[in-house]
Amino acid sequence: MMFKKNEQTEKYLIRRGVPGDARGIIECMQSVMDEKVYLVSEYYLLTERGEQERLKNRDDLTLVCEVNGKIVGVTTIQRGMYKKNRHTASLGIAIKKEFRHMNIGTKMIREAISWSKDQGIEKINLEVFSSNVNAIKAYRNLGFEYEGVRKGQFMIGNQYTDDVLMTYFTSTWHDKN
């Protein structure tokens, strides 16, 4: 796939992450965490070895977006780990600042949704800061619905920020309930 960056056409590849991507994934995630406005955690908690082990779990999905050999985006789908919530999963995404607003995140999420459907996951959940209006708009355009809000759940800078809960249903079972 291609995108324009600084009047130059660049190629990017979205693919499943492998253990050899661990360092690049950590660097990508940490670069977004360093901004202190998009993710709850400010430090990536897994070591490189821990990340390599996480990537071996076939129940979950990690997609990476690679540009010129560097990982610039990460999307994860983590399936519910209990029998009662195996039909659900949590979505997470981080795109390096200089690669946002290029449709990379949208393409990664579409791929993650497709994979989830193939795996029998019926409900994909995510959380997003209410201050991240661009992300909320993108999620709505992809078909995510509001499920709830946790008022003042986070303090970003000196500002109380709501936690917006959103859901994408991959099947129609919820229409019947």
Please name each of the domains of the chain with its CATH number.
2-176 (3.40.630.30)
State the Cα–Cα distance between residues 127 and 24, nearest whole angstrom. Answer: 24
Residue 78, pLDDT > 90, answer yes
Q: How far is CA 30 from CA 2, 47, 94, in A?
A: 25, 12, 9
Amino acid 116: pLDDT: 97
Q: What is the pTM of this model?
A: 0.90
Give 3-state DSSP helix, strand, coil % of the chain, rounded to 5.
35, 40, 30
Mean pLDDT, residues 28-36:
94
pLDDT-based confidence at residue 57 (cuts at 50, 70, 90): very high
Q: Can you say whether the dihedral through the CA atoms of 77, 113, 138, 65 is positive or negative?
A: positive
Looking at residues 8-18, what average pLDDT do you find? 85
Q: Residue 108's pLDDT is what? A: 98
- Over residues 97-106, the pLDDT tens digits come to 999 999 999 9
Confidence grade of residue 177 (pLDDT, cut at 50, 70, 90): low
* Burial per residue of 125-143, b for 16 or more beta-carbon CB atoms within 10 angstroms, e otherwise: bbbbbbbbeebbebbeeee
Write out the two tokens for 9: 């056409």
Residue range 19-44: mean pLDDT, rounded: 93
Residue 12, helix vs strand vs coil? coil
- Contact 113/91 with Cβ under 8 angstroms? no
Mean of the per-residue pLDDT values of the chain: 92
Q: Which residue is associated with the tokens 């406005």? A: 37
